[in-house]
């Protein structure tokens, strides 16, 4: 007997949350071996080559025309280069992970605010209540960790806001194309190819000029790259675009509220970081908020 659609989508959402947040752990593993721009350059060069080979074997590698390729490239640079580049740079400059998680958790509120005028998906009262509750859960989870943070450059605190703007813009562009069946909309696998290629090209200059492509090609670094390419880039981003095509943008964005608590649990498993009662409480509150958004959104 086939699964009900809501159950299948729930499984996809759980997989997205787990694979997406594993990227933060991968970044912590990878940054000691390469700078932020260089890490992203290698990651997306490998990803582009892998997707190109798969599409070529399947006979689906094609030029869709300048408008469609251009939109896919723009979405890619924003959702991959902008989002990840700003997060990695903030971490590299010494910004606390808790502060970055707190700032990036503003994305669902920003997406909810603009989803109505941009996409035509107004956010209802129950959804707004869930969004606010989810943000409160994030504050609880990371607020206790901010007191002992050392001073860092001001730009390190600005970068996460730019990250939020980048991925919110990309999500709304993609959702609008899906909702109104834009002629520039591409199949997920072909869109990911052009997104990945554009991101790699955008990273070339800063990786060469700023970091000199300095890379320590050790076993741990190569294992980290394999995880980031196969699981995070291929897995989580593909899941995100599939969910955006089937859910309203606010509902998909609400899943980002689970990032700080889930990342803390992963860091505890990977690095032995302490999980506090505030982390557990924040996860419970954020999950309640996400549940409210899901109940208030259209299927």
What's the pLDDT tens digit per position in 107-127? 777 777 677 777 776 777 777
pLDDT at 160 over 80: yes
Tell me the whole-structure pTM to 2 decimals.
0.79
Distance of CA 201 to the CA centre of its chain: 19
Compute the distance between CA of residue 94 and CA of residue 154 in angstroms, rounded to an integer. 11
Q: Provide the number of structural domains found in the chain.
A: 1
Least trusted range by pLDDT, from 7-16, 219-228, 256-265: 256-265
Summarize the confidence of residues 76-95 as an average pLDDT.
89
Q: Is the CB of residue 257 less than 8 Å from the CB of residue 110?
A: no
Q: Is the CB of residue 82 less than 8 Å from the CB of residue 162?
A: yes
Least trusted range by pLDDT, from 21-30, 131-140, 167-176, 208-217: 131-140
pLDDT at 245 over 70: yes
Long-range contact set of residues 222-226: C-beta below 8 Å, sequence gap at least 24? 224/26, 224/29, 224/30, 224/33, 225/30, 225/42, 225/43, 225/46
Provide the token pair at 265. 């649990």
Closest CA to 15 of 264, 297, 262: 262
Phi, psi (rounded to 5 degrees) for 275: -105, 120
Domain residues for the domain of 57 are 5-296
pLDDT at 224 over 90: yes
List Cα–Cα distances, 234 to 19, 115, 144, in angstroms: 10, 26, 34
Closest CA to 170 of 118, 207, 205: 118
pLDDT at 200 over 90: yes
Of residues 248 and 212, more confidently modeled: 212
Q: Predicted confidence band at 150 (pLDDT cuts at 50, 70, 90)?
A: low
At 272 the three-state DSSP class reads coil
Mean pLDDT across the chain, nearest whole number?
A: 83
Q: What angle do CA 5, 76, 105 make, to 5 degrees?
A: 65
At 34 the three-state DSSP class reads strand
Alpha helices in 31-61 (DSSP H): 36-58
DSSP code per residue over 285-298:
HHHHHHHHHHHHS-
User: For residue range 30-53, what is the model confidence (pLDDT) as tens digits?
Assistant: 999 999 999 999 999 999 999 999
DSSP 276: P
């Amino acid at each position: 007997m086939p699964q009900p659609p809501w159950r299948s989508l729930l499984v996809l959402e759980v997989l997205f949350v787990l694979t997406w947040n594993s990227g933060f752990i991968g970044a912590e593993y990878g940054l000691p071996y390469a700078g932020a721009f260089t890490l992203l350059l290698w990651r997306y060069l490998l990803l582009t080559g892998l997707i190109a080979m798969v599409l070529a074997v399947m006979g689906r590698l094609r030029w869709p025309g300048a408008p469609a390729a251009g939109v896919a490239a723009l979405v890619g640079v924003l959702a991959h280069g902008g989002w990840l580049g700003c997060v990695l740079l903030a971490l590299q400059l010494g910004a606390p992970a808790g502060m970055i998680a707190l700032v990036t958790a503003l994305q669902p509120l920003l997406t909810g605010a603009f989803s109505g005028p941009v996409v035509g998906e107004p956010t209802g009262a129950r959804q707004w209540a869930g969004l606010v509750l989810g943000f409160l859960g994030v504050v609880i989870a990371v607020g206790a960790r901010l007191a002992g943070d050392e001073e860092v450059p001001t730009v390190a605190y600005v970068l996460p806001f730019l990250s939020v703007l980048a991925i919110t813009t990309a999500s709304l562009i993609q959702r609008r194309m899906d909702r109104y069946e834009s002629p520039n909309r591409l199949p997920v696998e072909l869109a990911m190819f052009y997104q990945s290629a554009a991101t790699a090209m955008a990273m070339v200059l800063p990786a060469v000029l700023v970091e000199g492509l300095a890379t320590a090609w050790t076993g741990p670094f190569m294992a980290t790259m394999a995880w980031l390419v196969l699981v995070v880039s291929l897995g989580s981003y593909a899941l995100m675009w599939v969910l955006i095509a089937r859910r309203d943008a606010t509902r998909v964005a609400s899943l980002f509220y689970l990032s700080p608590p889930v990342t803390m649990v992963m860091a505890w498993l990977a690095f032995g970081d302490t999980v506090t009662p505030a982390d557990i409480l924040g996860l419970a509150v954020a999950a309640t908020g996400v549940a409210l958004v899901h109940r208030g959104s259209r299927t």
